[in-house]
Amino acid sequence: MITIVDYGLGNLGSIKNMFNRLGIPSLITSDIDQISSASKILLPGVGSFDNAMSRINHGSLRKVLDLKALEECIPIMGICLGMQLLTNGSEEGSLPGLGWVPSKAVRIPAQQGLKVPHMGWNKVLPTSRSKLTENLPNNARFYFVHSYCVKVEHTKYSILKTNHGIDFDAAIQNNNIFGVQFHPEKSHKFGMQILQTFADI
Amino acid sequence: MVRTRIIPTLLLRNESLVKTVKFGKFSYIGDPCNAVRIFNELEVDELVFLDILASPRGTEPNYKLLRDIADECFMPMGYGGGIKTAEQAHKIFSIGFEKVFLNTSIVNNPNLIEQISTAYGSQATAVSIDVKKNIFGNYKVVTCGGRKRTALDPVIWAKEAEKMGAGEILLTAVDCEGTWQGMDCDLISKVSSAVNIPVIAQGGAGNIGDIGEGIDRGGASAVALGSMVVFQKQGMGVLVNFPDKKLIEVELGKH
Dist CA A85 CA A82 (whole Å): 5
Q: Comparing C-alpha atoms, which of B133, B132, B115, B135 is closest to residue B124? A: B115
Q: Which of A93, A18, A139, A153 is nearest to B74 (CA)?
A: A18
| CB proximity A120 to B under 8 Å | yes
Out of B3, B73, B121, the one facing A121 most closely (by C-beta) is: B3
Question: How close B25 comes to chain A (CA, Å)?
Answer: 33
Chain B touched by A47 (CB under 8 Å): no
Q: What are the extents of the domains in chain A?
A: 2-200
Q: What is the structure's pLDDT at A148?
A: 94
Task: Please indicate if any CB of chain A lies within 8 Å of the CB of B15.
Answer: no
pLDDT at residue B228 greater than cutoff 50 = yes
pLDDT at B3: 67
**In the prediction, which pLDDT does B252 show?**
87
Confidence class for position B1, pLDDT limits 50, 70, 90: very low
Closest Cα partner for B90 from B111, B50, B127, B119?
B119
CATH class held by domain A2-200: alpha beta
Q: How confident is the model at residue A176 (pLDDT cuts 50, 70, 90)?
A: very high
Q: What is the pLDDT of residue B2?
A: 54
When pLDDT is cut at 50, 70 and 90, the band that residue A175 belongs to is very high
Nearest residue, CB atoms, B96 vs list A14, A117, A141 = A14
First to last CA, chain A: 12
pLDDT band of residue B255 (cuts 50, 70, 90) is: low
- Check residue A14 and give its pLDDT: 85
Residues B178-189 have a mean pLDDT of 98
Mutate to test the interface with A, among B75, B122, B125, B168 (most CBs of A within 10 A): B75
Q: What's the whole-number mean pLDDT along residues B87-115?
A: 95
**Stretch B198-211: mean pLDDT:** 96
The answer, for B121 touching chain A at a CB cutoff of 8 Å, is yes
- A118 belongs to the catalytic site: no
Over range B121-129, report the average pLDDT: 92
pLDDT band (50, 70, 90) for residue B243: very high
For residue A67, the distance in angstroms to the closest alpha carbon of chain B comes to 31
Q: What is the pTM of this model?
A: 0.86
CB contacts of B43 in chain A (<8 Å) are 188-189
Kindly report the nearest CA distance between residue A42 and chain B, in angstroms: 18
Q: What is the 3-state secondary structure (H, E, C) of chain A?
A: CEEEECCCCCCCHHHHHHHHHHCCCEEEECCHHHHHCCCCEEECCCCCHHHHHHHHHCCCHHHHHHHHHHHCCCCEEEECHHHHCCCCEECCCCCECCCCCCEEEEECCCECCECCCEEEEEECEECCCCCCCCCCCCCCEEEEEECEEEEECCHHHEEEEEEECEEEEEEEEECCEEEECCCHHHCHHHHHHHHHHHHHC
Confidence tier at B170 by pLDDT (50, 70, 90): very high
Q: Are A186 and B98 a contacting pair at CB < 8 A?
A: yes
Residue A10 has pLDDT above 80, yes or no: no
Tell me the per-residue pLDDT of A79-136, one tens digit each, with 9 for 90 and over: 999 999 999 999 999 999 999 999 999 999 988 777 778 888 999 999 999 999 999 9
The share of chain B scoring above pLDDT 90, in percent, equals 87
> How many whole angstroms separate alpha carbon B17 and alpha carbon A174?
46
Alpha carbon A56 to its chain centroid, in Å, reads 15
Q: ∠ at Cα B48 (A45, B97), nearest 5°?
A: 25
pLDDT of the residue at B207 = 96
Q: Which of A201, A161, A155 is nearest to A182 (CA)?
A: A161
Q: DSSP string spanning chain B?
A: -PPPEEEEEEEEETTEEEEESTTSSEEEEE-HHHHHHHHHHHT-S-EEEEETTHHHHTPPP-HHHHHHHHHH--S-EEEESS--SHHHHHHHHHHT-SEEEE-HHHHH-THHHHHHHHHH-GGGEEEEEEEEE-TTS-EEEEETTTTEE----HHHHHHHHHHTT--EEEEEETTTTTS-S---HHHHHHHHTT-SS-EEEES---SHHHHHHHHHTT--SEEEESHHHHBSSTTS-B------HHHHHHHHHH-
Domains and CATH numbers, chain B: 5-254 (3.20.20.70)
A63 vs A45: CA distance, rounded Å: 18
Note whether A150 and A87 are within 8 A (CB). yes
CA B117 – CA A107 distance, rounded (Å): 20
Mean pLDDT throughout B170-190?
98
Amino acid at B226: G
